[in-house]
Amino acid sequence: MFMRMVFTVAVAGASGYAGGEMLRLLLQHPQAQIGAVTAHSNAGSTLGEHQPHLRRLADRVLQPTTPDALAGHDVVVLALPHGASGAVAAELAERDPATVVVDLGADHRLVDAADWVTYYGSEHAGTWPYGLPELLHTGEEVAAAQRAQLAGTTRIAVPGCNVTAVTLGLQPGVAAGVIEPVDVVAVLANGYSGAGKSLKPHLLASEGLGMAQPYAVGGTHRHIPEIAQNLRAAGAPEVTISFTPTLVPMSRGILATATARLVPGTDPAAVRAVWETAYADEPFVHLLPPGQWPTTAATLGANTALVQVAVDERAGRVVTVTAIDNLVKGTAGGALQSLNLALGLPETLGLPMDGVAP
């Protein structure tokens, strides 16, 4: 006889895109039971007004985001603005240290407090186990170290969406020593949901439809130190990254073109095998067959990352392209995958394996 454990989850920030996606995935998870759903300015309205795609939760009323509303759940997912999660997590830990807190925001991702200060301009809240199970650590079995950190943890810092895409693209080459992590260049095509529901003119449909526009150009994007941190984990002693995201007319998806110099003397023919080996056993990260390139459509709604790699011998660079759904593998899916590990559940439990295409 099968005894199914059920865990209760509260979601703070449930009227936004990250919170909404977390709810979508939790609804499909066989052991999750959705408890409180909270919001800030939208408190008091129904979830159906903000997430009309989640029919089964349409009548749920959003509570204000307070410790009282969130406490008493096995798991609390925080989809809050940067800087807000530290205090909430502390209060929840005081009430019940066993509560598992999953932070979809940036507050607890960076190891180096100086990076935080430089890019976010406030005091660092501390570092939590990093929710990218596939993160490579040099000298170890593929991804074993990261999964070990997540097993049984009560704190998960979910990676930034762009970070996940670029890291998954490049880390096999770094770990295997076939690419140089100095002078990495990454340019991303990003869907608009990555910007959240901010009411800004350049995010209007009238503007976004039919145009491509860059943002945070020239080394200012906050995901840069996080990518560097990951590539250092993979074995890079020093990392420099030129990183440029561009908004393109799609709601979801990241297509990351990340390129790095081939280490001189490396046999180009041997490069593909490095990526094949790294991801051979990964359930969510897939190296595509030669000649097939990732598209964001193939990942829509799924927790998958599609990766391809090519060597440009004339340019002396390895070019990787990675496609993910920014809200799934890039946010809520990666979070749930890590939460499964934290709770001792099968890593893939309840996670969507198939994209919705076309």
- Continuous segment of H or E residues that includes residue 172: helix 161-175
- On whether the CB atoms of residues 153 and 108 are closer than 8 A, the answer is no
76 binds a second copy (CB under 8 A): no
Question: Which one from 14, 161, 227, 327 is the annotated catalytic residue?
Answer: 161
The least CB distance from residue 39 to a second copy, in Å, is 13
Give dist(CA 119, CA 91) in Å, integer. Answer: 26
Quick check: is 161 catalytic? yes
Cβ distance to a second copy smaller for residue 71 or 216:
216
Q: b or e along 180-206 (b: 16 or more beta carbons within 10 Å of the residue's beta carbon)?
A: bbeebbbebbbbbbbbeeeeeeeeeee
Amino acid (one-letter) located at 168: L
The least CB distance from residue 30 to a second copy, in Å, is 10
Q: Which of 93, 17, 6, 24 is nearest to 336 (CA)?
A: 24
Among 9, 12, 19, 20, binds a second copy (CB under 8 A): 20
3-state secondary structure at position 68: helix
3-state secondary structure at position 287: strand
Residue 1 token pair: 């006889």
Footprint on residues 172-191 left by a second copy (CB under 8 A): 183, 185, 187, 189, 191
Stretch that binds a second copy, among 107-115, 120-128, 139-147, 303-311 (CB under 8 A): 303-311
- On whether the CB atoms of residues 62 and 27 are closer than 8 A, the answer is no
Can you say whether the dihedral through the CA atoms of 295, 298, 300, 303 is positive or negative?
negative
The least CB distance from residue 219 to a second copy, in Å, is 3
261 binds a second copy (CB under 8 A): yes
263 binds a second copy (CB under 8 A): no
276 binds a second copy (CB under 8 A): no
265 binds a second copy (CB under 8 A): no
Cβ neighbours around 159 below 10 Å, total: 28
Among 306, 335, 341, 342, binds a second copy (CB under 8 A): 306
Give dist(CA 31, CA 44) in Å, integer. Answer: 28
Stretch that binds a second copy, among 46-54, 74-82, 122-130, 142-150 (CB under 8 A): 46-54
Footprint on residues 209-238 left by a second copy (CB under 8 A): 209-215, 217-219, 224
Give dist(CA 106, CA 158) in Å, integer. Answer: 8
Cβ distance to a second copy smaller for residue 140 or 293:
293
**Under rule CB under 8 A, how many of the chain's residues touch a second copy?**
96
Among 3, 6, 199, 269, binds a second copy (CB under 8 A): 199
353 binds a second copy (CB under 8 A): yes
Give dist(CA 231, CA 229) in Å, integer. Answer: 6
The least CB distance from residue 67 to a second copy, in Å, is 28
- On whether the CB atoms of residues 137 and 233 are closer than 8 A, the answer is yes
The least CB distance from residue 238 to a second copy, in Å, is 12
Give dist(CA 173, CA 293) in Å, integer. Answer: 18
Helix spans in 127-197 (H): 144-150, 161-175
Stretch that binds a second copy, among 105-113, 272-280, 297-305, 341-349 (CB under 8 A): 297-305
313 binds a second copy (CB under 8 A): yes
296 binds a second copy (CB under 8 A): yes
Stretch that binds a second copy, among 65-73, 141-149, 158-166, 207-215 (CB under 8 A): 207-215
The least CB distance from residue 56 to a second copy, in Å, is 6
Kindly report the length of the chain.
358
Cβ distance to a second copy smaller for residue 148 or 187:
187
What residues are annotated to the active site?
161
